Amino acid sequence: MAEVTTSVWATGQQPSRVQRQGRYVPESMRHPGKMLPAIAARVIASYTRPGELVVDPMCGIGTTLVEAVHLDRHAAGVEYEEQWARLAVANLGFAKKHGASGFGRVVVGDSRNIARLLPDLAGQAALVLTSPPYGAVTHGHIRSTRDTGEPGVRKWNHHYSTDRGNLAHQQLPALLDGFGHILAGCVELLRPGGIAAITVRPYRMRGELVDLPGHIHQVAEDAGLVFADRIVCLLCGLGDGHLLNRASFFQLYEARKAWARGLPIHAVAHEDLLVFRRVTKPVSSQKLHSLQQEPTPASTQSDSGLGDGRELK
């Protein structure tokens, strides 16, 4: 495993769309909340060796999986939405066609049951790398309508799904509870000493800052993981003596509204990478015990019947 020597990573030197050009199928840009490829690649290179297993329980279009197989690691992902899972499979095929040496697999299902979806991988993963959903508040594509003579903005590619069972539709307490079940299941997949790395950023809701990294830190520890490190992954570029702003429309919009009210807030220009380790003996607590119980079917199964999981080829 490579030595981590810095607490700030320059992962935003190129915009996301440039990082994906020639490496992912073009349809990948439709997903509203993609992990930055440079972050995924840096995490995988830092915390795993060639031939080891990387798991993403909320893999979306497969960014974690693609970067893993390009680095000669093997990868497994779970995705709730079949449309994104199929794109993940397409991206893995694209990577293989372009020289990736690792092997990847994708299972459609509810990752709150991930230990049941991937029973053959129990205790084998060197790394779990993922990011929680943020919902439509912070993701998608935006275009101003001022050039058409109409005030306002037009949004597209900002919905994960229309399935209300998707965690992306849940309010913060339910989202955190679901993510806690996911992490507890991932503990069972990690080998002793294995790493769980979570990329997460704060966001603003109606002007108020939501400390999502702080919430996720607590949820991860409740799931039996031990905090090891926090790394700042820059979403901005580092130019010649200045920063190249790559803040999303949503971040800038909230900041401008706040300045208009006399509140000088700034757009977030980084993601927190929270790094945890699985200890040999998981932390014993009532909270951990409750998280490791299988969620009730009413809270985990989608109307499409994908809760039991099925692998896409």
- What is 155-211 written as a DSSP string? EES--S-S-TTSGGGS-HHHHHHHHHHHHHHHHHHEEEEEEEEEEE--EEETTEEE-
Do residues 9 and 42 touch, judged by C-beta distance below 8 A? yes
Q: Radius of gyration (Cα) for the chain, nearest Å?
A: 19
> Is position 59 within any domain?
yes
In Å, how far are 75, 177, 216, 280, 292 from 276, measured between CA atoms?
A: 19, 18, 11, 13, 18
Q: Which of 13-17, 49-53, 222-226 has the lowest mean pLDDT?
A: 13-17
Q: What is the pLDDT of residue 253?
A: 74
The CATH code of the domain that includes 200 is: 3.40.50.150
**Rounded mean pLDDT of the chain?**
83
Q: Which of 43-52, 94-103, 255-264, 280-289 has the lowest mean pLDDT?
A: 280-289
> Is position 264 within any domain?
no
Q: Has residue 300 got a pLDDT over 50? A: no
Q: Has residue 285 got a pLDDT over 60? A: no
Q: Which residue has the higher pLDDT, 228 or 165?
A: 228
> Is position 25 within any domain?
yes
Number of domains in the chain: 1
At residue 93 the predicted structure's pLDDT band, cuts being 50, 70 and 90, is very high
Encoded tokens for 88: 């993940």
The rounded distance, in Å, linking the Cα atoms of 305 and 108 is 10
> Is position 143 within any domain?
no
Q: What is the pLDDT of residue 158?
A: 46
At residue 149 the predicted structure's pLDDT band, cuts being 50, 70 and 90, is low
Look-up of token digits 């779970």: 78
CB burial readout 263-295, b (16+ within 10 A) else e: eebebbbbbbbbbbbbeeebeeeebbeebbeeb
Q: What is the pLDDT of residue 258?
A: 82
Q: Has residue 146 got a pLDDT over 80? A: no
What global pTM score does this model have?
A: 0.82
> Is position 100 within any domain?
yes
Q: What is the pLDDT of residue 298?
A: 32
At residue 287 the predicted structure's pLDDT band, cuts being 50, 70 and 90, is low
> Is position 1 within any domain?
no
The rounded distance, in Å, linking the Cα atoms of 270 and 267 is 9
Q: Which of 34-38, 62-66, 148-152 has the lowest mean pLDDT?
A: 148-152
Q: What is the pLDDT of residue 266?
A: 79
Q: Has residue 71 got a pLDDT over 50? A: yes
> Is position 220 within any domain?
yes
Range of the domain at 70: 8-135+172-245+270-312
Do residues 227 and 279 touch, judged by C-beta distance below 8 A? no
Taking the CB of residue 208, how many other CB atoms lie within 10 A of it?
A: 8
